[in-house]
Amino acid sequence: MRALDRGESFVVTRNGVPVGELAPLRQRRFVSADAAVALFAGAPDLDAARFRADVDAVLDQHPRPRG
């Protein structure tokens, strides 16, 4: 556990055969609202009607009674 705290990862084996990996959890980092806005400042504008049409073409969003 101390090694995981230090950021080390391990391959778990059964009879010498790798079956999994033990790795430390990634720490969540706080991102300020200003930084998030700056990240998307150069993003293209979203055409809401086109986006909706694309979603509707892929997903069936008509509610049906469940029986």
The 10s digit of each residue's pLDDT in 8-52 is 999 999 999 999 999 999 888 899 999 999 999 989 999 999 999
Q: Is residue 11 part of a domain?
A: yes
pLDDT of 67 above 70: no
Q: Is residue 51 part of a domain?
A: no
- The rounded Cα 45 to chain-centroid distance in angstroms is 23
Q: Is residue 37 part of a domain?
A: no
Cβ–Cβ contacts within 10 Å for residue 29, how many? Answer: 5
Q: Is residue 3 part of a domain?
A: yes
Please state the pTM of the whole predicted model: 0.39
Q: Which domain holds residue 19?
A: 1-27
Q: Is residue 13 part of a domain?
A: yes
Q: Is residue 61 part of a domain?
A: no
Instruction: List the end-to-end C-alpha distance of the chain, in Å, as a whole number.
Output: 50
More confident residue, 3 or 59: 3
Q: What total number of domains does the chain contain?
A: 1
Q: Is residue 53 part of a domain?
A: no
Q: Is residue 46 part of a domain?
A: no
CA distance 55 to 46: 13
pLDDT (0 to 100) of residue 11: 96
